[in-house]
């Protein structure tokens, strides 16, 4: 039903997606993007439209069947510092910035769902709240929070109170275009950020015993971090560490007195994060003793694991199958390795949530590329699946 309604204005949404893709904006700088979203939501007939936390947007659509529950539908809106190499006619015109994670598709999907719901408000009771969230990609050692945290703190889940929240993300795939991947319980990894600053003592390279080598110390830390995963984490759990940055030293004949490294741990159980932290501290203390260096640890809890509510996930799967067919979704055996600040809506907001992945083929003539890659550009046809699905889930929840 909803997919037929989408077809009546599908060409307009294709052009809108291209506009979002042409002018991508980095986290918390989505000024043009936000303005376009506000303009379209008002034109579609949303009951309320307001900007929140600078570039975020929250809108409501009230059902024509009376008062009832409220469901939140979320789309992330920020882009990445990537130089586009897709060759698309609508490629990014903002140098060094690209929608390499497909958030332009997410925006267009939710706007399309909003337009459908505005036309079908006589079919449901209660309220649909549309949350266009900035800064999903923003987590850093300086500020581990993404935009979801700040949107919740700014009140996006209140007035009216949101009773459940639904989100989705495109998944690059050559097969199963438009098929949704669902999962009950833990759906994504959580992650913690670490920065290690090592302070040693300089000496001449010919007399290393006169100094305290910061680079050797940080090298030992890096090697021993791998041991935490191999020997301290329960083998029935899963975790991974990646040390992505390392800097130190000034000249080859000087024992370095400073070195620094940055790492990220990912996990699927918040208790594992505690084990990792405790052993990381122990590793650094041990290296301090054998090296004579002082090691500072900067630890930041990043995005927690997204945990899907069982009942809400079942409801979403039912609605998708009713709208798009029995083969339109399946349940994953394992969570995905990436992380998402969508977890904040459950952890901070305290409401049931479900987060889905939808397989998306690449734009015609392009290879399947991973997320955050300069050549990833989903086929816009995916909104023929995502928009009706989100509308169907909203109506199913509100009328249940």
Q: Tell me the residue ranges of DSSP E strands in 207-304.
A: 239-248, 254-255, 258-267, 294-301
What percent of the chain has pLDDT above 70?
A: 100
The enclosing H or E element of 395 equals: helix 383-399
User: Whose structure tokens read 């000034």?
Assistant: 250
> Interhelix angle for 270-291 vs 214-227, to 10°?
150
Looking only at the bridges linking them, the beta strands covering 353-360 and 203-204 are: unpaired
Domain(s) of CATH 3.40.630.10: residues in the chain = 2-188+305-399
What's residue 144's pLDDT? 85
The model's confidence at residue 209, banded by pLDDT at 50, 70 and 90, is very high
Instruction: Write out the DSSP string of 59-117.
Output: EEEE-TT-S--EEEEEEE---BS----S--TT---STT-B-TT-HHHHHHHHHHHHHHH
pLDDT in tens, 234-286: 999 999 999 999 999 999 999 999 999 999 999 999 899 999 999 999 999 99
The third-level CATH classification (topology) of the domain covering 2-188+305-399 is Aminopeptidase (3.40.630)
d(CA 400, CA 389): 16
The model's confidence at residue 140, banded by pLDDT at 50, 70 and 90, is confident
Top CATH class, 192-301: alpha beta
Looking only at the bridges linking them, the beta strands covering 190-199 and 258-267 are: antiparallel
d(CA 227, CA 284): 13
d(CA 70, CA 398): 7
φ/ψ (deg, to 5) at 34: -60, -45
What's residue 132's pLDDT? 98
Q: How far separated are the first and last CA of the chain, in Å rounded?
A: 18
pLDDT in tens, 317-365: 999 999 999 999 999 999 998 899 999 999 889 999 999 999 999 999 9
Domain(s) of CATH 3.30.70.360: residues in the chain = 192-301
d(CA 113, CA 126): 16
What's residue 5's pLDDT? 98
For residue 293, the SS3 value is: coil
The model's confidence at residue 142, banded by pLDDT at 50, 70 and 90, is confident
Tokens of 275: 């084990």
């Amino acid at each position: 039903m909803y997919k037929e309604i989408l077809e009546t204005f599908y060409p307009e949404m294709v052009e809108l997606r291209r506009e979002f893709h042409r002018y991508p904006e980095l986290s918390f700088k989505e000024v043009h993007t936000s303005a376009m979203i506000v303009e379209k939501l008002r034109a579609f007939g949303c009951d309320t439209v307001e900007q929140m936390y600078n570039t975020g947007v929250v809108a409501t659509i009230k059902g024509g069947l009376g008062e009832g529950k409220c469901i939140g539908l979320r789309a992330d809106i920020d882009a990445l510092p990537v130089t586009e190499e897709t060759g698309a006619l609508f490629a990014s015109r903002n140098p060094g910035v690209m929608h390499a994670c497909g958030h332009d598709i997410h925006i267009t999907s939710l706007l399309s769902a909003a337009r459908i719901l505005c036309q079908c408000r006589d079919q449901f009771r209660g309220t649909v709240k549309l949350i266009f969230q900035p800064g999903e990609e923003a987590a850093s050692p300086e500020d581990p929070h993404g935009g979801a945290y700040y949107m919740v703190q700014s009140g996006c889940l209140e007035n009216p109170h949101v009773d459940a929240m639904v989100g989705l993300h495109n998944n690059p795939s050559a097969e199963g275009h438009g098929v949704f991947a669902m999962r009950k319980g833990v759906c994504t990894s959580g992650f913690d950020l670490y920065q290690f600053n090592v302070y040693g003592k300089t000496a001449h390279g010919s007399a290393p015993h006169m100094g305290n080598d910061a680079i050797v110390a940080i090298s030992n830390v890096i090697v021993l971090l791998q041991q935490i995963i191999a020997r301290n984490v329960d083998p029935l759990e899963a975790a991974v560490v990646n040390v992505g940055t390392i800097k130190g030293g000034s000249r080859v004949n000087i024992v370095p007195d400073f070195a620094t490294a940055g790492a990220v741990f990912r996990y699927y159980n918040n208790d594992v994060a505690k084990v990792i932290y405790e052993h990381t501290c122990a590793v650094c203390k041990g290296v301090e003793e054998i090296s004579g260096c002082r090691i500072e640890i900067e630890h930041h809890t990043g995005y927690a694991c997204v945990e899907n509510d069982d009942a809400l996930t079942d409801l979403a799967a039912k609605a998708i199958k009713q709208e798009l067919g029995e083969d339109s979704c399946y349940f994953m055996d394992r969570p995905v390795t990436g992380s998402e600040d969508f977890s904040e809506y459950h952890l901070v907001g305290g409401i049931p949530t479900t987060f889905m992945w939808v397989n998306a083929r690449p734009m015609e003539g392009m290879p399947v590329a991973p997320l955050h890659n300069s050549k990833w550009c989903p086929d816009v046809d995916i909104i023929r699946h995502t928009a009706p699905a989100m509308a169907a889930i909203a109506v199913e929840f509100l009328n249940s």
